Structure formats: structure tokens, C-alpha cells
Amino acid sequence: MMMGYPAADIALMSGAHLEGALNSKGMVEHLLTDSRKLTFPDSTLFFAIQTKQGNGHDYIPDLYRQGVRHFMVSELPDPESFPGAVFYVVGDVVKALQQLAAHHRKQFSIPVIGITGSNGKTIVKEWLNALLQYKLKMVRSPRSYNSQLGVHSVSGECRNIMSWPFLKLGYQGLVKWHCWKKWLGLPSG
């Protein structure tokens, strides 16, 4: 969950070109990358991510029938087939998600605790949460997600300056570390 943003702001933050119902008054408060996890269709932005296993664009009709009206896409479907829907057209959906999460993260001047390493990241994240949850409001990456998607789901949960994000970062070399630093606004070190 994240603060509500209107379509024009989402487009600006993600570098998207808007198509479809450009006069939409709906606010985006939830980011969705897995169509099976839909809970708040009226305020959800679905990211149609293409992977080796599948194409997120294939789920747009079903999500539309369930009430979703905001879609980040790299392949524009026929907007006339989806009345009232807003399509954010980008070249790379994952990159747009990262840009949106980075912009949202910059709205808060709160510390981020990033946990890296070869082994033990999940247990350390859970131990820290157990120790500090009664003193600080915390958000953390779900389960053992340490991918680009898991980290950005936590960014969206930061709603006020009292949230401390705990992130389990999949460390895949120096290039990946520089990407995490950029997306999350982490200091050097």
C-alpha cells in the first residue's frame, strides 16, 4: 500500500505515456505485480511484467473484469475494449515500477536497513523485526523476497516518517548494489 497518487502523477514519476480514460479521477494506492493477489481493485495499479514464465499483459482482461482500472504496460491493448481504464505505456514495466518506488521512497526521510549476504538474510530480517517492532513502526520485505519486486513492495508500504523499512537485498555484485542504492536512496558504505 502507498499514498494515493492521481494518474498524471504516476505517469510523470514513471516516465509513462497515458492512454485510455485520461479523465479518470481514481487514485492509485496499491501496486500489484501478481494478479492472484488482488485485494483493492478500485485503487490498484497492475504492472504487466513480462517474464520467461509468462506475460502480465495476458491478465489485463481478467483484472479489468474484477474492477482494476490502472495498468502499467509495454504493449498497449485496444483502449476501447477497456472503457474507463487508464494505461500507462512504458518501454520497460519493471523499470517504471522501480522509478515509481524510488520517487515514493524519496517522500520520506526515514532510515532504511538493508541486509545483504550469501546466507541468513531472512532470519536476520525477522529477528530484527521481532526485537524492534514494539519500539518502532516497521515494514519489511514479504517472506524471503529479495528481488526487484519484493524490495519495491516495501517501498510502497512506507506511509509516514515513523516506518522503518527492513529490506533483504539479493546481493548480486557491485552493479546490483549500486542499483539498490539508487532506487532506495541508500548512503554509500
The total of structural domains in the chain comes to 2
| 189: in domain | no
The three cell numbers of residue 73 are 504496460
- The whole-number pLDDT of residue 168 equals 43
- For the four alpha carbons of 167, 173, 179 and 182, in that order, the dihedral sign comes to positive
Domain residues for 70? 5-100
pLDDT per residue of the chain (189 residues) written in tens, 0 to 9: 456 889 999 999 999 999 998 777 788 888 888 899 899 999 999 999 998 999 999 999 999 999 999 999 999 999 899 999 999 999 999 889 888 877 777 776 666 666 677 677 777 777 877 887 777 766 666 655 445 554 444 444 444 333 444 444 444 444 444 454 555 555 554
Please identify, among 100, 118, 138, the residue that sits at the C-terminal boundary of a domain: 100
Q: Are residues 143 and 160 in the same domain?
A: yes
| 130: in domain | yes
The three cell numbers of residue 25 are 479521477
Domain with residue 63: its CATH number is 3.40.1390.10
| 86: in domain | yes
Alpha helix locations (H) across the chain?
Answer: 7-14, 60-65, 93-105, 121-132, 148-157, 174-184
Q: Are residues 93 and 11 in the same domain?
A: yes
- The whole-number pLDDT of residue 173 equals 44
Q: Are residues 81 and 163 in the same domain?
A: no
Q: Are residues 90 and 127 in the same domain?
A: no
- The whole-number pLDDT of residue 4 equals 83
Q: Are residues 72 and 113 in the same domain?
A: no
Q: Are residues 96 and 153 in the same domain?
A: no
3-state secondary structure of 112: coil
- The whole-number pLDDT of residue 135 equals 76
- The whole-number pLDDT of residue 104 equals 74
CA dist 69 → 55, 62, 129, 148, 162 (Å): 18, 11, 35, 24, 31
| 141: in domain | yes
Which pTM does this prediction carry? 0.71
The three cell numbers of residue 55 are 506475460
Q: Are residues 59 and 129 in the same domain?
A: no
